[in-house]
Chain A
Amino acid sequence: MKEKKSGLSLHKTTGLTAWSFIIIAVSIIVLFYFYPMIDALLLSFKSGMGANLQFVGLDNYKRLFTDSTFITAVSNTFFYLIIQVPVMIILALFISVLLNDSNLKGRGFFRTAIFLPCVTSLVAYSIIFKYLFAADGLVNMLLMKLHLIADPIQWLTDPFWAKITIIIAITWRWTGYNMIFYLSALQNIDKSIYEAAKIDGANAPRQFFNITIPMLKPIILFTSITSTIGTLQLFDEVMNITKGGPGNATLSISQYIYNLSFKYNADFGYAATVSYSIVFMIVILAIIQFKVAGDKDA
């Protein structure tokens, strides 16, 4: 046998073969994922202008707690999170249940129409929203023509309305995306459960709360975690619709990171610290969500 010439046992050869297959993927992952992560962590302990970075220990992390802009960015982001994620999840759930009804005509059309926003580019749709919600934009014109409001709403330049505009925009963009998850999960629920419920005399709301929601729980958990992460990383919409303004009323954490790195005099160290603060927040929120939803199903 020729194999014997190589002097390696069969076991070793297959081991080597296996390694040679995964070594490329592993080294690329290490190089482009783990190395930057660790380097960013090290960077978060440094501070300084541009290339003049110096090791400052935990100063950056201490600075986070006294940095009012950071605190505003966090509270804005949580405002989006607390209002937008539940609204979107409930809306997506509601729409998906409606669309799952086999008696509904044109289901395919509605499904496509609601999912379509998800394929639009973030920047492109943000810019369109900016024009729709301008002081003399389409939304104000429509509301005024319908006599719902007398004066144009300052959608982009009033601190409160600007937040609402951002929430409307994200909801429009992401509801369809979450809806698809629910739809696919709904199709996996055994029809016989509903039939049994009907025989027992349960009406539609009852079926929804006692069958649909419990059956969808793992998916609801999954979508709420991905939406939470998505909201914490919110950037494109804020950057393009309001630029974080007026003042910093709509500033998101990610945009603050961008500002620290590229708008102000670059302090990449502190920017990395703020980035890591998002990591901590996501981890904590995910743990809470698992606990609240009960981790049995997940």
Chain B
Amino acid sequence: MILKKLMAIIMASVLLLAGCSSGSKDAANKPGANGANSGKETKEITIWAWDPKFNIAALNIAKEAYAKINPDVKINIVEYAQPDTIQKLNTGLNSGTTKGLPNIILMEDYRAQGFLQSYPDAFYDLSDVIKASDFADYKIGPTSYDGKQYGVPFDSGVTGLYYRTDYLEQAGYTAKDMENITWDKYIEIGKKVKEKTGKFMMSTDPNDLGILRVMMQSAGSWYLKEDGKTPNLAGNEALKESLEIYKQMLDEGIMTIHSDWSQMLAGFNSGNVASLVQGNWITPSVKAEASQSGKWAVAATPRLTKTPNATNSSNLGGSSWYVLNMDGADVAADFLAKTFGADVDFYQKLLTDVGAIGTYTPATSGPAYKSGDEFFGGQNITADFAEWTKTIPKVNYGIHTYAIEDIMKVELQNYLKGKDIDQVLNDAQKQAEAQLK
């Protein structure tokens, strides 16, 4: 008897459990379905970004600004590590449900094309919401696909040559000597600096080929051809020269090696490294060492000499905002359009409060872009960066940047061990062609 009662209870609870689960499913589905059908706006949007001192800080300013325009919208800003956002986005989009995904996501420009092409219907077309021509030209390539504008360009990754004026002085160089130099000249200066001060000119991580990307883009070249799909390694003049410069810097002993980001920061913050070629987003990290105030300056990125069309401006990193095609997309798009897409004052605040240089061209005439920085000896680095941004060669980052970079990392090691450069590039090309389809 007792057994039977127990059994009945178990059966009932099983049924109840099943009932519960299906019930909750319905409940979760309904608002979404209703919202889509009735066309009612969702008044709550979620945004993912990864750096509390940079892009999240920027979002907070935007949120404040938007609250004045449309106070009804509730904006949730969620911080995830950058690789996590990519992972969650990949799994979310692949599972075919947008549940758990944000309305707006920040994505690195190097990755954008991959996502836009892999998940064609997942992103909201912003062509009519923002004016693409208002943004720096080189940002449009990665953020648009098939003639449609999907991304709102955010920060500029325009690069500069940050250098220690005091070390350079000891080596006998002035600010004038650093203007629009070539990499050959840079190495020559580096040797002098090493000789006079014992400091390394640059520091590099063999696992991060950022410096090669900077050199390539400065000559309008990339790992991939114009179509963004065909590997462009064998016979790539810019890449070849970049590799040669890389090896030369190591061979001459002016470049030291670090194995992670914090070690790189420690390199120049401790005064062991005399210069760095990085995106302007490194500025806050350079300024973190207050005792070095007044000892830094920024010059234009060195240029390649053998490669045609080489310039003194390049880009490293940088990211843009994307709206996911789901409930609330129109609200999300409106938020981006009225802040990142149009608000000149917002960009002034972004620069003074966060130190972020946007890529919204009309903003560069604002007052915040006109003041010097004591840390850099009064130099108006913002104006300089804004100027270099205009001449960054536009390249197609394509869909395989990171896959090819991993192949290049291996071949770079072989090259450093003495393998012939043309052979290195040919082998890398073969591997890339076999691997990427």
Known: A134-B259, A247-B206. A17 touches B403 (CB 8 A): no
Seed contacts A245-B207, A265-B114, A265-B400; 12 additional CB < 8 Å A-B pairs: A20-B10, A49-B118, A49-B399, A51-B94, A52-B120, A134-B259, A157-B205, A157-B257, A245-B409, A246-B207, A248-B406, A265-B117
Chain B residues in 8 Å Cβ range of A259: 406
Known: A135-B257, A157-B257, A262-B86. A50 touches B93 (CB 8 A): yes
Residue of A nearest to B117 (CB): A49
Separation of A20 and B117 alpha carbons in the complex (Å): 48
Q: Is B65 an interface residue (CB 8 A)?
A: no
Separation of A288 and B420 alpha carbons in the complex (Å): 42
Stretch binding the partner chain, chosen from A63-71, A105-113, A219-227: A63-71
A-B contact count (CB 8 A): 112
Q: Do the beta carbons of A266 and B413 come within 8 Å of each other?
A: no
**Residue contacts A-B, CB under 8 angstroms, 14 given:** A17-B3, A50-B114, A50-B117, A50-B118, A51-B119, A52-B118, A130-B259, A130-B260, A134-B259, A135-B259, A157-B205, A242-B207, A247-B412, A264-B114
Separation of A244 and B7 alpha carbons in the complex (Å): 55
Q: Which of A17, A50, A263 has the most CB of B within 10 A?
A: A50
Q: Is B263 an interface residue (CB 8 A)?
A: yes
Chain A residues in 8 Å Cβ range of B14: 20, 23-24
Q: Is A156 an interface residue (CB 8 A)?
A: yes
Residues of A within 8 A of B (CB): 2-3, 13, 16-17, 20-21, 23-24, 47, 49-52, 66-69, 72, 130, 134-136, 154, 156-157, 159, 242-249, 259, 261-266, 268
Chain B residues in 8 Å Cβ range of A248: 406, 409-410
Separation of A177 and B411 alpha carbons in the complex (Å): 38
Chain B residues in 8 Å Cβ range of A21: 10
Q: Do the beta carbons of A247 and B410 come within 8 Å of each other?
A: yes
Separation of A3 and B86 alpha carbons in the complex (Å): 59
B14 to chain A, nearest CB (A): 7
B261 to chain A, nearest CB (A): 11
Q: Do the beta carbons of B435 and A67 come within 8 Å of each other?
A: yes
Q: Do the beta carbons of B93 and A264 come within 8 Å of each other?
A: no
Separation of A2 and B117 alpha carbons in the complex (Å): 67
Chain A residues in 8 Å Cβ range of B120: 52
Q: Do the beta carbons of B7 and A20 come within 8 Å of each other?
A: yes
B71 to chain A, nearest CB (A): 37
Q: Is B36 an interface residue (CB 8 A)?
A: no
Q: Is B96 an interface residue (CB 8 A)?
A: yes
Separation of A246 and B406 alpha carbons in the complex (Å): 10
Chain B residues in 8 Å Cβ range of A261: 90
Chain B residues in 8 Å Cβ range of A2: 1
Chain A residues in 8 Å Cβ range of B402: 263-264
Q: Do the beta carbons of B413 and A249 come within 8 Å of each other?
A: yes
Chain B residues in 8 Å Cβ range of A156: 259
Separation of A154 and B205 alpha carbons in the complex (Å): 12
Q: Is B39 an interface residue (CB 8 A)?
A: no
A52 to chain B, nearest CB (A): 7
Q: Do the beta carbons of B118 and A266 come within 8 Å of each other?
A: yes
Chain A residues in 8 Å Cβ range of B435: 67, 69
A53 to chain B, nearest CB (A): 9
Chain B residues in 8 Å Cβ range of A159: 413
Q: Do the beta carbons of B400 and A264 come within 8 Å of each other?
A: yes
Q: Do the beta carbons of B90 and A50 come within 8 Å of each other?
A: yes
Q: Is B11 an interface residue (CB 8 A)?
A: yes
Residue of A nearest to B411 (CB): A247
Known: A51-B94, A52-B118, A247-B410. A134 touches B403 (CB 8 A): no
Residue of B nearest to A66 (CB): B434
